[in-house]
Homo-oligomer: A and B are copies of this chain.
C-alpha cells in the first residue's frame, strides 16, 4: 500500500459565504494529496508529464461529513490500496481537521494518456515498476 499525508491550510479565498471551505475546493486538496503520494515512487507527477504521460481524472467522488473552516489545517491522507492494473489508478482519500475529526472521504481515478497521441495507454514499465516495492505481495 502507498499512504501519504499532506497538510493544507484553508485559504480565505477558498471559503464561501456559508463560512465553509467551498465543496469544490477538495478537488485541489485531493490533487495535492496524490501528488505527494506519487512523490514516494521516486519521481514527481511533473516528471511523469515530462516523460510523455498525462494523467487525467476519469472519476471523482466525495462524501462530506463535516465542513472545514478558514485557517484550519487539513490533513489529506491519500491511499493507493492496490498495485495499479490496466490503465486505471484509483486513489482513496480521507481528510481530517486538526482536531482529528474526519471531514470527508473520497476517491479519484486517474488514467494514463500518451501525450503524443492523446490516446489512453498502458502505464509504461518505468512507471509500473516504481509501484513494486510498495506491493510486495502482488510483485
Partner of A27, one of B23, B49, B67: B23
Q: From residue A117, how far is it (CB to closest CB) to chain B in Å?
A: 14
Binds B, one of A9-17, A81-89, A91-99, A126-134: A9-17
Q: Is A59 an interface residue (CB 8 A)?
A: yes
Q: From residue A74, how far is it (CB to closest CB) to chain B in Å?
A: 14
CB nearest to A67 among chain B residues: B56
When all copies of this chain in the complex are counted, the total is 4
Partner of A16, one of B13, B23, B32: B13
Chain A interface SS verdict (over half): mixed
Partner of A13, one of B9, B27, B54, B64: B27
Q: Is A1 an interface residue (CB 8 A)?
A: no
List, in ascending order, chain B residues with CB within 8 A of A45's CB: 12, 71
The answer to whether B12 and A35 have CB atoms under 8 Å apart is: yes
The answer to whether A63 and B70 have CB atoms under 8 Å apart is: no
Q: From residue A5, how far is it (CB to closest CB) to chain B in Å?
A: 15
The answer to whether B16 and A15 have CB atoms under 8 Å apart is: yes
Q: From residue A93, how far is it (CB to closest CB) to chain B in Å?
A: 13
Q: Is A28 an interface residue (CB 8 A)?
A: yes
List, in ascending order, chain B residues with CB within 8 A of A12's CB: 16-17, 22, 31, 35, 45
Q: Which 8 pairs show the lowest CB-CB distances between chains A and B?
A: A24-B27, A61-B61, A15-B17, A23-B57, A46-B71, A17-B19, A13-B28, A13-B22
